Amino acid sequence: MRLQNVNWILTATMPKSRSVSRNKKMSTLTVSAPARLNLARRMSRLGTETAFEVLVRARALEKQGKHIVHLEIGEPDFDTPKNIVEAAVDALHMGYTHYGPSAGLPDLREAIAEDVSKSRGVKFTSDEVVVVPGGKPIIFFTMLALVEEGDEVIYPNPGFPIYESMINFLGAKAVPIPLREERDFRLDVNELADLITDRTKLIIINSPQNPTGGVLTRNDIYDIATVIGDRDIMVLSDEIYCRLLFEGEPFSISAVDGFKDRTIILDGFSKTYAMTGWRMGYGVMRSDLATHIARLMTNSNSCTASFTQIAGIEAIRGEQTATEHMRLEFQRRRDVMVNGLNQIKGFSCRLPKGAFYTFPNITQTGWPSKKLADAILDEAGVAALSGTAFGAFGEGYLRFSVANSIENINTALDRIDQWTKKNL
Ligand SMILES: Cc1ncc(COP(=O)(O)O)c(C=O)c1O
């Protein structure tokens, strides 16, 4: 009998009468062994984002009384601009505390469509927009909607670790395209051409890029589009850092002739408006795909929180000076960080063109990335990420976020310098 199989035992005699209620029967049972957790096999293929693990380790060291400079996590250290916070508070008072449509509130979808049309130079309508809790769900939902087991997905490596995690989770084949320092971490289009096969379903590009700060040029993007040609391959264009660009103009592959229908733009509020904890992002895509992504929302989250969406309208339509201030401040910190890293023995660092990360080459230290990141955290009190947290091609690098004050960045640089002088 099944009960025996799972090791249930009866501690009292079972009631004889069938008329005894089911609840009473249950109350006489105790369990002698913990239930075995039989996870679905796919869970073993799910990756993670090391930044959160390093943050936990750093916090544990702080609890022991150590002082840590946090350069591991990818979130702006600025407060969400006041006008946005006030719009959310007002929305709560106005009763935006209920479910809304799965694809997002119509007014926010309209505001996003207008904003993205202007910034990308392509006309989008609100039925091509789906609002989701953060940028991340667009990665997951796009792949759930498009990628079958055995399909191939090409993604940048080093790159945001969730791409590879999701591809593997879905049983698809993860095909990394290496990003190399000598190309300023822009993918090589000839290499991309060699990786495309009949099974390629999706290509992920990310510019400005996490973790390298690399930015694809307009020519790169035209070359990528040319290589894809008229094949039935979709492009997930992760543009979440598009407002954090230090040189030139952003350019989206959706603006290339024939690519509006092939592109899913991922963008959101987390980085541009310092709203990481609000959980609000969006995808912009052809409306027939948007319908399916909205259905995934119905099945998972129902909708993004309504009052945060009202604040999202204010973020897009309101004053933009705070965003520009953050961009300039990140640029200033990047310059301090890169300059400082280049003075440290064994480190060399290119100037990132966007986002808020630096990605120094540490091969001359002779240390593997993970070991060096661990030692710098434990012994120098600086939390950074190993390049390998972003894939195998991240070996030989560390990632330092510059989402911290210049004062703290200088402290971190000093500490790493002292540490290398002692240990290398
Ligand atoms: C490249 C990239 N895409 C997407 C995301 C996800 O953003 P969100 O926090 O809005 O989910 C991040 C966050 O770090 C990122 O770096």
pLDDT digits (tens, 9 = 90+) for 158-201: 999 999 999 999 999 999 999 999 999 999 999 999 999 999 99
Q: Is the CB of 238 under 6 A from ligand 1?
A: yes
> What's the gap in Å between 365 CA and the centre of ligand 1?
30
Measured from the Cα of 159, ligand 1's closest atom is 1
Instruction: Please say if the pLDDT value at position 245 is more than 70.
Output: yes
Q: Is the CB of 279 under 6 A from ligand 1?
A: no
Q: What is the pLDDT of residue 23?
A: 55
Q: Is the CB of 281 under 6 A from ligand 1?
A: yes
Q: Is the CB of 391 under 6 A from ligand 1?
A: no
In three-state form (DSSP H/G/I as H, E/B as E, the rest C), the secondary structure along 347-362 is CECCCCCECCEECCEC
Q: Is the CB of 210 under 6 A from ligand 1?
A: yes
Measured from the Cα of 209, ligand 1's closest atom is 1
In three-state form (DSSP H/G/I as H, E/B as E, the rest C), the secondary structure along 258-271 is CCCCCEEEEEECCC
Query: What is the chain's mean pLDDT, rounded?
Result: 93
- Cα→Cα distances 246→89, 159, 215, Å: 33, 20, 10
Q: Is the CB of 81 under 6 A from ligand 1?
A: no
Q: What is the pLDDT of residue 364?
A: 97
Burial string for 66-92 (b: 16+ CB within 10 Å, else e) reads: eebbbbbbbebbeebbeebeebbeebe
Q: Is the CB of 212 under 6 A from ligand 1?
A: no
Residues 94 and 363: their CA atoms lie apart, in Å, by 56
Structure confidence by residue, pLDDT tens digits, 29-53: 778 888 999 999 999 999 988 888 8
User: Is 13 or 419 the better-scoring residue by pLDDT?
Assistant: 419
Question: Global pTM?
Answer: 0.92
Is the CB of residue 80 less than 8 Å from the CB of residue 87?
no
Q: Is the CB of 389 under 6 A from ligand 1?
A: no
Structure confidence by residue, pLDDT tens digits, 122-169: 999 999 999 999 999 999 999 999 999 999 999 999 999 999 999 999
Residues 103 and 83: their CA atoms lie apart, in Å, by 24
Instruction: Please say if the pLDDT value at position 8 is more than 50.
Output: no
Residues 87 and 85: their CA atoms lie apart, in Å, by 5
Measured from the Cα of 281, ligand 1's closest atom is 10
Question: Could you tell me which residues are beta bridge partners of residue 102?
Answer: none
> What's the gap in Å between 134 CA and the centre of ligand 1?
8
